Structure 1
């Protein structure tokens, strides 16, 4: 690179709040800590302004044209939908990269964006993965092509644990959702993305050495993972949205309610930026919270008839329209819980809630963003 040239990093996140939050924070840190210029391409209905009301001038948001609905079947599972959607915007991405000034000196994608490597390769731009989950999952995904050849039948039907070299064995029942059904398109897309990770010039991980020493050591040193080949790894975490002392007026009522509760008395219940429950699960959770007599703050979403846990994935910030909990919670629930519990539809500023003195427990789906926060 010429002396004095500006390093310009372009970042393509997958759609969905859970992907956008760490990418925006990564971009903010690249600007603030390293003086880089950053462009983040925004997809779908994502609303970055709701998550980060203030961003540095050197971090630019560029909204790509919406995904063609014909490119993604209505019945597509989340991984399939994301992968097809990202593939459909590659021509727009190419044009945006060519028009960018100064020209990007790196393209960073997240776990489902590896098809963009072809565009970066054609333009001579180094390509990187920002892996927003755990090092243990990265090891599983890098080893997935080998497992695909070694294992016959469904992983969930295995009697022995799934073994990734150098890592903690995985119970078949605990395998990630896209690997549950090898006959589903979602599995093939997950395998496709995994098989392309070795094409990256390096992988940035949203983790730290102290949290995951075993899988990080395996990724760097175990012969079976090294010869994949595993690209150079850089743990850069925890990359999470920072708490702010400036309260968003839209969520002031929620934080004011917490202010009125005793320290450590509130159970925070939230299942991620896109998680949903079935009607039965929602009712059972409501009755459990009511009968427990425990103070609670519950982030709810409209239930799904089929119990699809990812049904709200693309509408986590409220893109699906009004969500009235009174239409799906047990009759009279809000009245009986008044004063002791608060129900908030769709979304709350989770970092601020988790850092509030009144919150003493967290019921979560275990997503990596939530764990780090």
Structure 2
């Protein structure tokens, strides 16, 4: 649900301000965790529809697999029905863009097959995105764990960060989650642009740095803040 709410708010704005039609394509599981998501999506206007992919089998996974790794696997294992869903949309509508969240980097290769521009929606702050572009250089420069670095990391135009304060995915460089972060950064060049749920006045340094770092990096667009109030119920309640 954490990433769905900002995506729903983005969809509302695309509908309200640009007269787009939006279709969510969502991976599923066999549990009850989908009920809150379906409740939110069913409350949206007809111009925002949803496609739920068939649930994948995870019987081969151990019980201690981290949730983020499970989410990534649910996506890669859903490639065949995902490709079919995109084809149906491409054949039946004027498909102008495809948007993925930070768990959907693997999909960029699939979308490229259809010649549709893809965009990444980064649901958190611009400084976290900036840090992501630094990861390959940090990985080459340091051999120890980042939490053991004697000096804070210095990001362009941003406050220094102690290694122990980096995201938990970066605290164990042998973990699958860290490897996925490296992979994701390398996939970014496939996107036509990156939308960030933040705004320039809030993070002027981070956005300035994002315009200067990252060879081959797509343009970055501040589109935030996108959030849902307790009273939000569909596109009618959106105030801008």
TM-score (norm 2): 0.88
Q: Which of the pair has the greater relative contact order for Cα pairs under 8 Å at 6+ separation? A: 2
Residue in structure 2 matched with residue 155 of structure 1 by the alignment: 146
| 1:94 and 2:83 matched | yes
What is the RMSD computed on CA atoms of the aligned residues?
1.8
Going from structure 1 to structure 2, the CA distance change for 1:200 and 1:191 (only over 3 Å counts) comes to: same
Q: Matches of 2:180 and 2:209 in 1, distance apart?
A: 25
2:216 is paired with a residue whose SS is: coil
Residue in structure 2 matched with residue 82 of structure 1 by the alignment: 71
Q: Matches of 2:107 and 2:194 in 1, distance apart?
A: 15
Q: Matches of 2:230 and 2:87 in 1, distance apart?
A: 36
Going from structure 1 to structure 2, the CA distance change for 1:199 and 1:168 (only over 3 Å counts) comes to: farther
> Is the Cα–Cα contact under 8 Å of residues 126 and 206 in structure 2 kept in the other structure?
yes
Q: How does 1:1-373 map to 2 (within 5 A)?
A: 17-44=1-28, 45-46=33-34, 47-51=36-40, 54-70=43-59, 72-100=61-89, 101-220=92-211, 222=212, 225-226=213-214, 228-244=215-231
Superposed displacement of residue 43, structure 1: 2.4
Superposed displacement of residue 103, structure 1: 4.4
Structure 2 unmatched ranges of 5 or more: 234-240
Q: Matches of 1:98 and 1:205 in 2, distance apart?
A: 27
> Is the Cα–Cα contact under 8 Å of residues 22 and 132 in structure 1 kept in the other structure?
yes
Structure 1 unmatched ranges of 5 or more: 1-16, 247-373
Going from structure 1 to structure 2, the CA distance change for 1:72 and 1:93 (only over 3 Å counts) comes to: farther
> Is the Cα–Cα contact under 8 Å of residues 71 and 84 in structure 1 kept in the other structure?
no
- Larger strand proportion, structure 1 or 2? 1
> Is the Cα–Cα contact under 8 Å of residues 165 and 218 in structure 1 kept in the other structure?
yes
Going from structure 1 to structure 2, the CA distance change for 1:164 and 1:68 (only over 3 Å counts) comes to: farther
Superposed displacement of residue 30, structure 1: 0.9
1:130 is paired with a residue whose SS is: strand
Which structure has the greater CA radius of gyration?
Answer: 1
Q: Matches of 2:75 and 2:41 in 1, distance apart?
A: 23
Q: Matches of 2:66 and 2:161 in 1, distance apart?
A: 23
Tell me which moved more, 135-144 or 20-29: 20-29
TM-score (norm 1): 0.58
> Is the Cα–Cα contact under 8 Å of residues 79 and 178 in structure 1 kept in the other structure?
no
